A and B are shown apart, each in its own frame.
Chain A
Amino acid sequence: MPPYQLLLAEALVGATIISSFALFLARSQQQKIYLPTFQDASLADDVDQDPFNVTKPEDFIDGEPIDEDAFWAKVSV
C-alpha cells in the first residue's frame, strides 16, 4: 500500500465536512423568500420622479435557456 494512507483519509473527510457545510449554508440562504428587488421604492413613493431607477427586471436574468428540456434530458439520463 502506498504511504500516508491515514493522512489521505483524514484530508478526504476534512473536504467532506467543508463541502457539506458549504451546501448547508447555501441551502439556508435559499430558503429565504425574496421579494422582487428591481424597484426599491414603495408604490406610494414618487418613483416617476427618479430618473436613475434604470434597472429593469430583464437586467437580472442571464438569458433564456435554449432548448432547456433537451439539455436536461441529455445530461441526466
Chain B
Amino acid sequence: MRNRKLLLAFLSATILAFEGISLGWSAYADGENTLVEHALRTTFALYISTLVVRSIGQCTIHRHSESVIHITTLTFFSSVLHFVTAILPSSDFISAHSIQELPQLLALWYAVTVAYILTFAIIATTPRGPPLHYSPSFIYSQKTIDDTTNKAYENVCGIPGASVVDYLWFRYVTRVVQLGSSDSVEIGDLPILPATMRATYQFFRMRMNLRAKPLKPGWDLAWRLLSINKLGFLIESLLAASAAPMWFASPFFVRKLIAYLEGDPDRLDRGWGWVYALAQFASLVIVSQREFLFSAMLSTSILMCHKSTIKCGSSRQLLSKLACVHSSTPCSSRRHLCERMSCPRLVSRRPRGKITKILTEKARRRMGKRMNSRAKRRL
C-alpha cells in the first residue's frame, strides 16, 4: 500500500525505457519493417507514464479515481493483449522469421509484458478514495439511531472508495454479509448509500426534469425515465452487446478443446490447448460478471426515478387542490399533504426554504439599518 504511486511511476518508467531501447534497436536492424510498431508501442508507454506521473500529485477523490480507472483500463487491455500474443502459437512462417531476430529484443518484449501485468495488479487494487462517514442524523430519525447496534464510524457503503477489483467483484458487500453474525439487524446498521443511489437525489433529478417541461400523458413518462438514465442504459446495452457473443463463445471453445484433445493424443503441441482453455475461462467470467455488474444499479435508479415521478405528478395535482382548500395555512397543508402521501420522511423534515428565510431576515435588518441611518442624517 505504501509507496504505491512511486512504485507505479518506477514501473512505467521501466516500461518506457525498455520500449525506447527496442525502438532504437529496431531502427538499427535494417531489412525488418518493425520500426512502426515499436514507435506506436513507445507512444502508448509514454501515455501511461504521463498518466501515472500526473496522478502522483492528485489528492481529490474525483481526480484520483479518474486516473486510477484510466490507468487500470489501459494496463489491463495491454496486459491481456500481450498475454494472448505470448501464448498464441506462431505459425511456421512467423517462427522461421523470428529465428533471425535478436534474443535481446525478445527478452525486452517479455520484460515489458511482465511490467504491464505488475502495473495492472498494483493499480487495480489501489483504493479510489478514503473511507467515508455520513452523519446518520441527516437521514434517520432519533429512534432509528438509538436502535442501531453497529457503531462503526465508517458507515457509508464502500462503493465510492472501492478499488477497481473490489468494485468488479463486489467486495464492498462484505460488510453487509458480516452483519448476519450480529444479534439483530436494524435499518441503521446497514451502510448508508452514496449520494447517487439515494431516493432524495433521484427525486431531485426527476423533479428538475419535470419542472423544465411538464409531463404529458402517454409515452412521455417512459421517455423521461430513459433520458434521465441514458448513461446507465448506454453502458448496460454496450455490456450486453459485448457479452452476448460470449454465451456462444464458451461452448465453441469447449468444442475446439475437445477437437484438440482428440487430434493430438501425445500432446506434442500444447499451445492451442492452452489458448482454448483460457478463452473458455475468459468467456465464462465475462458472461457471469455482466449479469450482476450494472443491472442492479440501473434498476434501482429507474425504480427510484419512477417513484419520484409519481410523487412529482401527484404533488402537482394535490397542491392545486390544496391551494384552494388551505390557501391560508401553508404549513398545515404541507403536513396534511405529506400525510396523505404516506411519506413520513417529508413530515419529519424541517421546513424548507430556511436559507431564503435567513437571507430575507438579513436583508430586512440591513434595510432597517439603512432606514435608521437615513433618518438620522435627515435629523
Contacts and interface: CB of A to CB of B under 8 A. Distances in A.
Contact of B204 (A8, A59, A65): A59
A44 to B, nearest CB: 9
Given A12-B78, A59-B195, A62-B195, A71 B70 contact: no
Contacts of A48: 330, 351-353, 356-357
A29 to B, nearest CB: 11
Given A52-B312, A66-B130, A66-B132, A77 B6 contact: yes
Interface in A28-77: 37-40, 43, 47-56, 58-68, 71-72, 74-77
Nearest to A68: B130
A56 B138 contact: yes
A53 to B, nearest CB: 5
Contacts of B319: 51
A66 B160 CA distance: 13
A3 B352 contact: no
Given A48-B330, A76-B57, 9 more contacts: A1-B105, A12-B44, A15-B73, A50-B352, A51-B346, A54-B203, A59-B195, A60-B195, A66-B131
A74 B1 contact: yes
A4 B85 contact: yes
Interface of chain B: mostly helix, strand, loop or mixed: helix
Contacts of A9: 36-38, 40-41, 44
Interface in B38-60: 38, 40-41, 43-44, 47, 51, 56-59
Interface residues of A, number: 51
Contacts of A53: 352-353
Contacts of B200: 54-56, 59
Nearest to B40: A9
Contacts of A75: 1, 4-5, 64, 126-127
Interface string B1-27: 111111000000000000000000000
Interface in B118-176: 126-127, 129-135, 138, 153-156, 160
23 contacts: A1-B106, A4-B85, A4-B88, A6-B37, A8-B82, A9-B36, A9-B38, A19-B73, A23-B70, A40-B208, A49-B330, A50-B352, A54-B203, A55-B203, A55-B204, A56-B200, A59-B201, A61-B134, A61-B195, A71-B130, A71-B131, A75-B5, A76-B4
Contacts of A62: 132, 134, 156, 160, 194-195
B278 interface: no
B109 interface: yes
